[in-house]
Structure 1
Amino acid sequence: MRSPALNRTLLFSAALLLALPPLHAAAEAKDAIKERAIIYLEDGETINQTLRAVKSLPSKKARRQELIKKLKERSATSQPSILKWLEENGATEVHPLWATNAIIFEADGETILAAAALDSVSRITLDINIPLDRGLPIPAGEPVYAEWNLSRINADLLWARGIKGNQITVALVDSGADPLHPDVSSKYLGGENAWFDPHGEHATPSDVDGHGTNILGLILGGEESGTAIGTAPESSWIAAKIYDDNGNGTLADIMRSYDWLLDPDGDPLTDDMPDVINNSWGFTTDIGFCLRDLEPYLDLFASADIAMVFAAGNFGPGTWSSVSPANNSNAISVGASTEEDTVATFSSRGPNPCSEDIFPDLTAPGAWNVFTSDLTLGGTNPYPYVYVWGTSAAAAHLSGGVALILSAWPERSIAEIEAALKETAVDIYTTGPDDASGYGLIDLYAAYLSLAPADCMDEDNDGYFVGGTKCHIEDCDDSAATIYPGALDIPGDGIDQDCSGSDSEKPASSSGGGGGGCFIEALSSNL
């Protein structure tokens, strides 16, 4: 069976020819019949060659700067003649893409066919629609089921250690975000490089549908509802609104958004790429197939050390129900688990049609009652919260989880964090990796512990370290699991259980003492 992507290539010319009017009517119809197309240019240097050239550079910042520089130089050399040709031949809505050396444009079928024949054009495809697929949210009353999902992945254990996603930026690629929601508004990074709307509908953050706001709440929402909703509550966010206000989005919209995310402010010398990109969407009209249209971008994001997290899809329980780009290389695909620690029936399964890799990669909470933020409706909604379900929600948990771990160990690469999440995941389907749950249900605390630098010691296994200079939070007594920063202090026992630097005030009759532990000379907590 041919894949949809191959069929698009084989039928491209035929489709355009059918769209062409008779020759005698061509002049009258030229402006009436237009298609959006994407030109991919051939310039002698593939993206893989570019990636190899920057791989040996010593730092993430240097690799990112050189990557942007080389890609922009490549497009600046190869695109001008094509752009001039498109202008001369009446193309409209022309958008050059520097990252993948492509050009988006609209033209009649005759012009598109002529463009495909140009010497420097490698290939040309028609744009495709990307439906907004979502499980219907359930209006929330009291948050009866709140926080089960966050404690299930042990996010709360990291919060207790002061690890909340600080200094990490997560990009939301979705329907937008409600800038007025109290759980996310203060975490918007702001500035001219924090919002992109390829449709040109909104100059500042907006969300008409609500899907993006639901997902953003699960990634980094706070406790304004009286209960925690987000996995990494101190992370910041930027967003690309790939769906317009009518819920329409296309491949071209996503490509433009990805170009923006690789250099949000347009200056290669400023390191303003996000750390994590959440993609709770997919090519849902082509279930079980491998579409590689966006794989070059995934390779670029991997080279820039950015986590590309994707929802696995809501098309289970049958096999071969994956969607692209979640099944592409360098995508971290996330299936949905239930409160009973089983794989949700709707969660898409493998095998992976793109490779021999397991699909999905991991599983996170996504069914059926995940509490999160909803549209404020301009401030008129008295209780802007809902219950949601779907692998979209599952992906949000993993995006927030990566942000948490990266904030604890910023020297770790995304590849190392992904490997740790897989190695420490909990089996919920079969023993070992499988094509339903992937490597299993994520355990953020276990992954965090496994990534501690070699010189960070934790003899009492309380999650607080001693020894190294980058051990995040230092324990004041590594021989007693009841003594750590933030522990409950027992007044007057002579022991500094909470590592505050002194024991709590003791009764006047006490003579102090009380065996072992941290006393006044202990290190102060930095919680």
Structure 2
Amino acid sequence: PAAAPPARGDAPAPTGPSWNVSLIGADRVWSELGVTGTGVVVGSSDSGVDGRHPALAAGFRGGDDSWYDPWEHRRTPADRGGHGTHTLGSAVGRDGIGVAPGARWVGCVNLDRNLGSPARYLDCLQFMLAPFPTGGDPFTDGRPARAPDVLTNSWGCPPLEGCDPGALRPATAALAAAGILVVAAAGNTGPYCGSIVDAPAPYPDVLTVGAVDRNRRLTDFSSRGPAGGADKPDLVAPGAAVPSAFPGGGYATLDGTSMATPQVAGVVALMWSANPALVGDLDRTRRILADTATPASVPAGAPCGGTRNLVGAGLVDAYAAVRAATSG
């Protein structure tokens, strides 16, 4: 079928930090600690990125190995659907929409028309492990030294697309072994218990993110644990009515754990920018994020085996996490 016309944002540019950025204290990190994510690279696997968007253009790392489109083989960042522009904007966008506006980004298209496959998901995860130049061979031209530091992944691979539960395990294990933190959306199949099922969200080496609203309440749609007998999600972040960039230079407001996930990736970028010795130390980074998280509101009676399977350690706190990352 003919491709749908490109999505375009029709909301105006924000004035000052968006509510979600302020809720997790990222704006205080910028103003009080002077940390914006400089020196850290965030990798986005999604529907693409509008590389010309004013909130994102200056943050693109550039070079011949910062963009890969295995679907349409476009040579420069573009986004037909808008989802990837929105999610990346929440991680590194400027003009108040992104948590780490000083960080740079690289991108890969793993969702074309909001549909993926195990092969394309793996294509992008492989690119993030060892980026290669446009037209290059990923097996011989990969450059591990150019890998991004933290990955934001607002997607899941369900059985409908051909994924079995372990399909992406070798990829996330390789990324973790390389010291690259994989942050992934819990999914939007709440309020059912045990609904964190689509790879890679259930994996123990992935930092899985659920969603709360502006009142710190768990959203109905945020998927719940347990996942494979383990507590999931790991954390929550704002995911209801989140404003961010959209193709064409405009902005849009969306809901989903997709919106929450890049904010946590942005917090990691702030932490690693503030203390480069933490880069690649996944265990300590995850520990700090959990220890500094703040309480989130959950349904009465805490179903699904308790609070940990609803909101994990709680709502991510950028200010407290960066302070902890630079102490001791």
Same fold (TM over 0.5): yes
Aligned AA for 2:204?
S
Aligned counterpart for 2:176 among listed residues 299, 302, 316:
302
Aligned counterpart for 2:91 among listed residues 219, 224, 244:
219
Alpha-carbon separation, structure 2, partners of 1:167 and 1:146? 22
Aligned AA for 1:281?
W
Alpha-carbon separation, structure 2, partners of 1:415 and 1:267? 30
Q: Report what 2:200 is aligned to.
A: 325
Please state if 1:210 is matched with 2:109: no
What is the DSSP-based 3-state SS (H/G/I as helix, E as strand, rest coil) of the residue aligned with 1:320? Answer: coil
* Aligned counterparts, 1:8-87, within 5 A: none
Alpha-carbon separation, structure 1, partners of 2:15 and 2:35? 26
Aligned counterpart for 1:448 among listed residues 298, 303, 322:
322
Please state if 1:339 is matched with 2:214: yes
Q: Report what 1:472 is aligned to.
A: none
TM-score (norm 2): 0.86
The question of whether the paired residues in 1 share the 8 Å contact of 2:13 and 2:250 is answered with no
The question of whether the paired residues in 1 share the 8 Å contact of 2:158 and 2:164 is answered with no
Aligned AA for 2:186?
A
Aligned counterpart for 1:387 among listed residues 253, 257, 263:
253
Displacement of 1:370 after TM fit? Answer: 1.0
The question of whether the paired residues in 2 share the 8 Å contact of 1:138 and 1:387 is answered with no
* Aligned counterparts, 1:465-480, within 5 A: none
Percent identity between the aligned chains? 35
What is the DSSP-based 3-state SS (H/G/I as helix, E as strand, rest coil) of the residue aligned with 1:219? Answer: helix
Please state if 1:153 is matched with 2:24: yes
Alpha-carbon separation, structure 2, partners of 1:363 and 1:248? 25
Q: Report what 1:84 is aligned to.
A: none
The question of whether the paired residues in 1 share the 8 Å contact of 2:42 and 2:269 is answered with yes
Displacement of 1:429 after TM fit? Answer: 3.5
What is the DSSP-based 3-state SS (H/G/I as helix, E as strand, rest coil) of the residue aligned with 2:277? Answer: coil
Q: Report what 2:282 is aligned to.
A: 414
Alpha carbons of 1:153 and 1:387: their partners in 2 closer, same or farther (altered >3 Å)?
A: same
Q: Number of aligned pairs?
A: 304
Q: Report what 1:361 is aligned to.
A: 234
Alpha-carbon separation, structure 2, partners of 1:137 and 1:336? 25
The question of whether the paired residues in 1 share the 8 Å contact of 2:129 and 2:144 is answered with no
What is the DSSP-based 3-state SS (H/G/I as helix, E as strand, rest coil) of the residue aligned with 2:291? Answer: helix
Aligned counterpart for 1:260 among listed residues 127, 148, 172:
127
Alpha-carbon separation, structure 2, partners of 1:408 and 1:213? 26
CA deviation vs aligned residue, 1:204-255 (integer Å, no higher than 9, x gap): 11111111001111111111xxxx00000011111111123x4432100111
Alpha-carbon separation, structure 2, partners of 1:284 and 1:145? 38
- The alignment's C-alpha RMSD in Å is 2.4
CA deviation vs aligned residue, 1:31-76 (integer Å, no higher than 9, x gap): xxxxxxxxxxxxxxxxxxxxxxxxxxxxxxxxxxxxxxxxxxxxxx
Q: Report what 1:243 is aligned to.
A: 111
Aligned counterpart for 1:429 among listed residues 279, 293, 297:
297
Alpha-carbon separation, structure 1, partners of 2:218 and 2:101? 26
Alpha carbons of 1:152 and 1:385: their partners in 2 closer, same or farther (altered >3 Å)?
A: same
RCO higher in structure (CA 8 A, sep ≥6): 2
Q: Report what 1:176 is aligned to.
A: 48
Displacement of 1:453 after TM fit? Answer: 4.2
CA deviation vs aligned residue, 1:141-176 (integer Å, no higher than 9, x gap): 574896210111111121012100001001110011
Aligned counterpart for 2:267 among listed residues 372, 381, 401:
401
Aligned AA for 1:273?
A
Displacement of 1:137 after TM fit? Answer: 10
Alpha-carbon separation, structure 2, partners of 1:338 and 1:329? 25
Aligned counterpart for 2:61 among listed residues 166, 189, 208:
189
Alpha-carbon separation, structure 1, partners of 2:52 and 2:60? 10
What is the DSSP-based 3-state SS (H/G/I as helix, E as strand, rest coil) of the residue aligned with 2:308? Answer: coil
Alpha-carbon separation, structure 2, partners of 1:409 and 1:267? 31
Displacement of 1:450 after TM fit? Answer: 2.1
Alpha-carbon separation, structure 1, partners of 2:54 and 2:152? 21
Aligned AA for 2:109?
K
Alpha carbons of 1:419 and 1:433: their partners in 2 closer, same or farther (altered >3 Å)?
A: farther
CA deviation vs aligned residue, 1:274-312 (integer Å, no higher than 9, x gap): 1011110002457xx971110111111111111101010
Alpha carbons of 1:181 and 1:138: their partners in 2 closer, same or farther (altered >3 Å)?
A: closer
The question of whether the paired residues in 1 share the 8 Å contact of 2:179 and 2:282 is answered with yes
Aligned AA for 1:238?
V
Aligned AA for 2:28?
L
Aligned counterpart for 1:278 among listed residues 152, 158, 164:
152
Please state if 1:348 is matched with 2:223: yes
The question of whether the paired residues in 2 share the 8 Å contact of 1:335 and 1:363 is answered with yes
What is the DSSP-based 3-state SS (H/G/I as helix, E as strand, rest coil) of the residue aligned with 2:145? Answer: coil
Displacement of 1:270 after TM fit? Answer: 6.1
Alpha carbons of 1:389 and 1:144: their partners in 2 closer, same or farther (altered >3 Å)?
A: farther
Aligned AA for 2:319?
Y
Q: Report what 1:372 is aligned to.
A: 244
Displacement of 1:140 after TM fit? Answer: 2.6
Structure of greater Rg: 1
Displacement of 1:324 after TM fit? Answer: 2.0
Aligned counterpart for 1:314 among listed residues 188, 191, 198:
188
Displacement of 1:337 after TM fit? Answer: 0.6
Displacement of 1:326 after TM fit? Answer: 0.4
Aligned AA for 1:154?
G
Alpha carbons of 1:438 and 1:285: their partners in 2 closer, same or farther (altered >3 Å)?
A: same
Q: Report what 1:6 is aligned to.
A: none
What is the DSSP-based 3-state SS (H/G/I as helix, E as strand, rest coil) of the residue aligned with 1:240? Answer: strand
